[in-house]
Amino acid sequence: GFFLPKIKIKINHMEINNEEYIELGRCSKPHAIKGAFALHPYNPEDSALKKGSKVYLIPKEGSKLQAEGQEFEISQISFGNKVITFFKEVNDRNKVEEILPFDIYFKKSDLPEIGEDEFYLDDLIGLSVIDAKNDQKIGKISIFYDNTAQIILEIRGETNIEIHMIDNFVVDTNIEEGFIKLKVP
């Protein structure tokens, strides 16, 4: 998987013009005076964002973006202590401050291709969870998060549980059929 939040959040999805978008991060601060943004992607180590990428910005309270959001193209991006980004349509700090703060969405169909036995963690949201002991459904995956050691899946059902996404617990993951089979401790 690629887009691992570093904080416990539910990854948001939305549909724009019949295309599915997923939330990649947020931005609430400008960078310097030349029209740059200090982005906060949920997974800066493995981001699909690059020069030429198109992103959809959804305004948060205080932003002067259109209420339904607006598409921008990345003209320059650098990853380091901060993710510094310039958008083609923005060229000064005043414009940056007008459109801040916002959430960053990316067209799911523009994500990089992955291998046959790979999946995006985002695809786990909503999967049915099957207990490997008795093949009974115990709930659905509601969110996941990275605790810096591994991915934790939060399962909502009759009882809510959190489980580490490691080989000791994950028996089978079948995105196409909509389930993940786990050894529940």
**Average confidence (pLDDT) over 1-15:** 50
Q: What is the DSSP letter of 122?
A: G
Q: What is the pLDDT of residues 54-85, one digit of tens each?
A: 999 999 999 999 999 999 999 999 998 889 99
Max distance between CA atoms of the chain, in angstroms, equals 60
In angstroms, the CA 24 to CA 56 distance is 10
Position with higher pLDDT, 86 vs 1: 86
Q: What is the pLDDT of residues 14-38, one digit of tens each?
A: 777 778 888 888 999 999 989 999 9
The answer to whether the pTM exceeds 0.85 is no
Report whether 53 contacts 107 (CB < 8 A).
no
Q: What is the DSSP letter of 109?
A: G
pLDDT of residue 12: 67
In angstroms, the CA 23 to CA 55 distance is 10
* Other Cβ atoms closer than 10 A to 92: 12
Cα–Cα nearest to 101, from 64, 72, 73? 64
Report whether 18 contacts 108 (CB < 8 A).
no
Q: What is the DSSP letter of 181?
A: E
Q: Is the pLDDT of residue 147 over 80?
A: no
**Position 132, amino acid:** A
Q: Is the pLDDT of residue 42 over 80?
A: no
Q: What is the DSSP letter of 147?
A: -
